[in-house]
Amino acid sequence: MSKLFNISEASNIAVHSLAMMANRKEHLSATQLSEALHLSKNHIAKVLQMLARHRLITSTRGPKGGFVLNRPASEISIYEIFEIIDGTPQVDHCRSIEGFCPFDECVFGDVQHKLFDEYKQYYMHRTIEEIALKKENN
């Protein structure tokens, strides 16, 4: 059985990286993020490149280069990040042949759709600003 909601490792990296950037005025490198998050520098670099292509962050080369948010953290929703990294989430729980179901009503009911709608609304309204690492400001 597939998972009802899955937050991929890449989405996880994106959210954590953006939250760290939200508290910094200076650029953060992939190496700095890798050391802080204890994750692969190469994986972080791939995720950051994707975020840069979608203009959530800006990258600068050079010794003082790195990545910085391209928009205010309050304008970046977690759901937007999920869509950028993994595509639009789908509720896909039925394994019947597409377009064919021998039942008048779904045997699973509509609880998965209701839960997905709550999940989507929650993450559409939760922003990077809300989860930014407050301890970095201390």
Give the tens place of pLDDT for each residue, 67-104: 999 999 999 999 999 999 999 877 766 666 666 778 88
Distance CA 32, CA 127 (A): 23
Q: Does domain 9-137 have CATH number 1.10.260.40?
A: no
DSSP result, 88-103: S-------SPTT--SS
User: Helix axis angle, 9-22 relative to 78-86, nearest 10°?
Assistant: 140
The burial of 48, by beta-carbon neighbours within 10 Å (0-12 exposed, 13-18 middle, 19 or more buried), is given as buried
**Predicted confidence (pLDDT) at residue 1 exceeds the cutoff of 80:** no
Q: List the end-to-end C-alpha distance of the chain, in Å, as a whole number.
A: 44
> Residue 138: its pLDDT value, please?
47
Strand partners, 77: 127
pTM listed for this prediction = 0.84
